Amino acid sequence: MPDITALLHAGLLVADLVRARAFYETVLGLEPCARPQLPYPGVWYALGDGRQLHLMQLPDPDAGSVRPEHGGRDRHIAFAVRDLDALRDRLDAAGIACTASRSGRAALFCRDPDGNALEFVAVE
């Protein structure tokens, strides 16, 4: 059996890279990092400890599918955040709807402009 030790990156499809970058950089505060030359538009973000988030402007094979209202019941990626209240304030100010975790944990869910579900979990 393989000895898997970490998730190194997550890749999300976006339809409009400019719109996606505005959300991930302005609302979430992520900063782009080096990206290899690839035959499609995209941006990579460093998340610490060598982990990354890759946004790829490519056709979405799930376009038009109906997604659950609550992101916790959909495929999603989770980010650790130090100040969940500050993040909620930023999402509210940007007009981004979010929901609390239904498990009772200190966590929020929202969707990016392309409908990708994101979870934010409070950590110290």
How do residues 13-48 score in pLDDT, each as one tens digit? 999 999 999 999 999 999 999 999 999 999 999 998
Query: Where do the domains of the chain lie?
Result: 9-60+68-122
93 CB-contact burial (10 Å; exposed 0-12 / middle 13-18 / buried 19+): exposed
Q: Any idea what DSSP says for residue 16?
A: -
80-124 residue pLDDT tens: 999 999 999 999 999 999 999 999 899 999 999 999 999 999 997
| Topology of domain 9-60+68-122, CATH | 2,3-Dihydroxybiphenyl 1,2-Dioxygenase; domain 1 (3.10.180)
Query: Are 118 and 109 a contacting pair, CB within 8 Å?
Result: yes
Inter-residue contact 99 to 70 (CB < 8 Å): yes
